[in-house]
């Protein structure tokens, strides 16, 4: 387990007092804007392990902008959210600095001769007092602090000890044999009290799924901490399929994935591995995640007649759908991730075939048609395999014949639907 410490000073609120909190794996904390801070890894306790920190930055207390996150990820500009003291001070020329800080020229030159360092550096030994004094004067002048002993903090650390909130030690919002999930909001963490930001964590056991759900308030940004899994995201509208399409993708440890606001999603673990991820989102007292399964299912809240009309099915069919009630949002989904991965690979192969063939519009349409047939056929195969794994299949010749008949009917249905412009289920997706 990694551990370390976070030290900071909010120049607007802390009256120049340096604050400190000890950190360990699973801790959650928040810093206000305009905060000067640094992190230290506890090499003694960690036995050489890295101290990994996952952070989110926003331009307001109630907005989590998806476009800014995508821009940062695509352009690898994650460091830009930080402003180093080195750049803050030495961005000015010597004339301005000497006038502002009243430092002799030789000290200014000494400051400038130091090679520019990355954000992460080796831990400091005992600080040289003279240079520490210079650094203190520089920092206090530019940050507007009222004393000159910012770097001389040893006596203040014990007086201003704070404690982070550990998500591993918190009560789980949902927990069963398929995993657990927890969310940290302003109710659990005081430093979030003036913000709608929240931190969530999901731990799925092998062959499990967090059922389809969506966030009506905010985009969700997640980082995979351990294992791997499949994520399926559904586009909530079909008005512009070129911009918004249903998607499925595989993620592994260290991957970051983003799900836009209002987009239904499901996360699934593989049979041979757990799937653990954490992330950031917004929550409010008037808006909560919506679910398709479990005791909070949106389907159970809607009028049955409305659902019948929406799905264009009989009263009996809808009664059967609504009668299957699951209490939890964490569900058994053995081999679901493997099946999703197969379909994903078929989709990728279809796109490659489409990109590698010409032939004008007619040729392109024919390629698209064949690609759709292949994808639908694979989905039907997966569906049939899943039905038989659930106990509907058998080893007798009679059941084998029934299985062959089902496959033939599914294949004919797939081709008919594609040629007719797609079945209703896919159009409504």
Q: Which CATH number belongs to the domain containing residue 172 in this structure?
A: 2.60.120.10
Residues 6+ apart with CB under 8 A from 167: 26, 27, 28, 182, 184, 199, 201, 278
Within-domain flag for 325: no
- Decide which of 293, 317, 339 is a domain's last residue: 293
Asked if residue 144 and residue 14 are part of one domain, the reply reads: yes
Query: What is the pTM (predicted TM-score) of this model?
Result: 0.65
Asked if residue 240 and residue 278 are part of one domain, the reply reads: yes
- Decide which of 293, 313, 340 is a domain's last residue: 293
Q: Tell me the β-bridge partners of 258.
A: 221
Q: Please tell me the predicted confidence (pLDDT) of residue 273.
A: 94
Q: Which of 65, 79, 74 is nearest to 197 (CA)?
A: 65
Asked if residue 104 and residue 235 are part of one domain, the reply reads: no
Asked if residue 10 and residue 141 are part of one domain, the reply reads: yes
Within-domain flag for 314: no
Within-domain flag for 31: yes
Within-domain flag for 72: no
Q: Is the dihedral of CA 256, 376, 322, 324 positive or negative?
A: negative
Residues 6+ apart with CB under 8 A from 400: 394
Using only C-alpha atoms, what is the Rg of the chain? 28
Instruction: Identify whether the C-beta of residue 77 lies closer than 8 Å to the C-beta of residue 71.
Output: yes
Asked if residue 283 and residue 172 are part of one domain, the reply reads: yes
Q: Tell me the β-bridge partners of 176.
A: 179
Rounded to 5 degrees, φ, ψ at 37 are: -150, 165
Instruction: Identify whether the C-beta of residue 296 lies closer than 8 Å to the C-beta of residue 329.
Output: yes
- Decide which of 293, 312, 340 is a domain's last residue: 293
Q: Please tell me the predicted confidence (pLDDT) of residue 73.
A: 43
Helices in 48-93 by DSSP H: which ranges?
66-75, 85-90
Q: Please tell me the predicted confidence (pLDDT) of residue 82.
A: 60
Q: How far apart (Å, rounded) are the C-alpha atoms in residues 150 and 135?
A: 9
Domain that residue 368 falls in:
356-428
Asked if residue 406 and residue 284 are part of one domain, the reply reads: no
Instruction: Identify whether the C-beta of residue 151 lies closer than 8 Å to the C-beta of residue 36.
Output: no
Q: Would you report the helix, strand and coil content of the chain in percent, each value rounded to 5?
A: 40, 25, 40
Within-domain flag for 328: no
Q: State how many domains the chain has.
A: 3
Within-domain flag for 7: yes
Asked if residue 194 and residue 109 are part of one domain, the reply reads: no
Q: Please tell me the predicted confidence (pLDDT) of residue 227.
A: 96
Asked if residue 257 and residue 115 are part of one domain, the reply reads: no
Within-domain flag for 336: no
Instruction: Identify whether the C-beta of residue 1 lies closer than 8 Å to the C-beta of residue 41.
Output: no
Asked if residue 208 and residue 150 are part of one domain, the reply reads: no
Within-domain flag for 419: yes
Asked if residue 229 and residue 159 are part of one domain, the reply reads: no
Q: Please tell me the predicted confidence (pLDDT) of residue 133.
A: 47
Q: Please tell me the predicted confidence (pLDDT) of residue 406.
A: 61
Asked if residue 106 and residue 247 are part of one domain, the reply reads: no
Q: Please tell me the predicted confidence (pLDDT) of residue 200.
A: 92
Asked if residue 50 and residue 116 are part of one domain, the reply reads: yes
User: Average pLDDT by consecutive 10-residue portion of the chain (429 residues)?
Assistant: 80 67 86 78 71 74 49 45 67 69 76 75 54 46 45 44 79 92 86 83 95 86 94 76 78 92 91 94 72 79 81 84 79 92 88 66 60 66 69 51 60 56 40
């Amino acid at each position: 387990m990694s551990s370390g410490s976070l030290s900071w000073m909010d120049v607007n609120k802390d009256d120049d007092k340096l604050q400190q909190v000890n950190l360990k794996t699973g801790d959650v904390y928040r810093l206000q804007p305009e905060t000067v801070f640094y992190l230290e890894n506890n090499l003694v306790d960690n036995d050489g392990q890295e101290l990994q920190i996952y952070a989110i930055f926003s331009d307001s207390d109630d907005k989590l902008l998806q476009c800014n996150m995508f821009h940062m990820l695509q352009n690898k500009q994650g460091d830009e959210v930080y402003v180093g003291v080195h750049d803050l001070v030495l961005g000015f020329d010597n004339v301005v600095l000497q006038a502002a800080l009243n430092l002799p020229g030789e000290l200014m030159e000494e400051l400038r001769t130091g090679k520019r360092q990355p954000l992460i550096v080796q831990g400091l030994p005992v600080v040289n007092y003279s240079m520490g004094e210079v650094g203190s004067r520089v920092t206090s002048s530019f940050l507007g602090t009222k004393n000159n002993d910012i770097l001389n903090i040893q006596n203040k650390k014990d007086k201003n000890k704070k404690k982070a909130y550990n998500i591993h030690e918190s009560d789980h919002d949902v927990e069963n044999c398929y995993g657990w999930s927890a969310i940290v909001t302003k109710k659990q963490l005081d430093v979030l009290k003036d913000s709608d930001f929240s931190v969530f964590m999901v731990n799925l056991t092998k062959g499990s799924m967090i059922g389809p759900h969506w966030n009506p308030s905010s985009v969700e940004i997640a980082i995979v901490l351990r294992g791997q899994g499949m994520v399926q995201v559904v586009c909530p509208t079909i008005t512009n399929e070129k911009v918004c399409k249903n998607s499925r993708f595989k993620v592994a440890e260290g991957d970051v994935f983003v799900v836009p606001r209002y987009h239904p999603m499901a996360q699934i673990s593989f049979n041979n591995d757990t799937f653990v991820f954490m992330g950031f989102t917004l929550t409010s007292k008037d808006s909560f995640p919506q679910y398709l399964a479990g005791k909070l299912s949106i389907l159970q809240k809607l009028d049955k007649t409305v659902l019948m009309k929406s799905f264009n099915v009989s009263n009996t069919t809808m009664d059967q759908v609504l009668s299957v009630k699951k209490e939890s949002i964490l569900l058994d989904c053995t081999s679901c991730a493997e099946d999703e991965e197969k379909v994903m690979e078929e989709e990728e192969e279809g796109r490659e075939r489409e990109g590698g063939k010409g032939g004008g519009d007619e040729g392109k349409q024919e390629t698209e048609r064949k690609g759709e047939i292949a994808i639908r056929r694979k989905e039907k195969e997966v569906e049939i395999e899943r039905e038989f794994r659930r106990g509907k299949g058998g080893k007798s010749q009679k059941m084998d014949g029934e299985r062959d008949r089902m496959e033939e009917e599914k294949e004919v249905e797939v081709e008919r639907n594609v040629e007719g412009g797609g079945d209703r289920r896919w159009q409504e997706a």
